[in-house]
Amino acid sequence: MGEASKQEKESRVAGFVKGLKTEYRKIVWPKQDDVVKQTIAVLVTTVALALVIALLDLVFKAGLDRIFSLL
């Protein structure tokens, strides 16, 4: 491996790290109250969907049990 290719590789790595730092500075981090509100929204939605799925499961199970009991 030549000296020129080693310097070129180091230059590319340095450029990548510099670009990474530049992009990292552009990140807008959410405030704590926003994270709390969004977490609560996700939890409430998850529980609501779980209840709907459980209810549908019970309805379908009851319906299928009734159909199979007639056979």
The domain spans of the chain are 1-28, 31-71
Average pLDDT, the chain: 92
Half-sphere exposure (Cβ direction) of 12: Cα atoms closer than 13 Å: 5
* Position 70 confidence tier, pLDDT thresholds 50, 70, 90: confident
**Distances, alpha carbon 20 to alpha carbons 6, 13, 16, 44, in Å:** 21, 10, 6, 36
Q: Under 8 Å CB-to-CB from 30, ≥6 apart: which residues?
A: 38
Q: Under 8 Å CB-to-CB from 38, ≥6 apart: which residues?
A: 30
Instruction: Give the mean pLDDT of 30-39.
Output: 97
Predicted TM-score (pTM) of this structure: 0.61
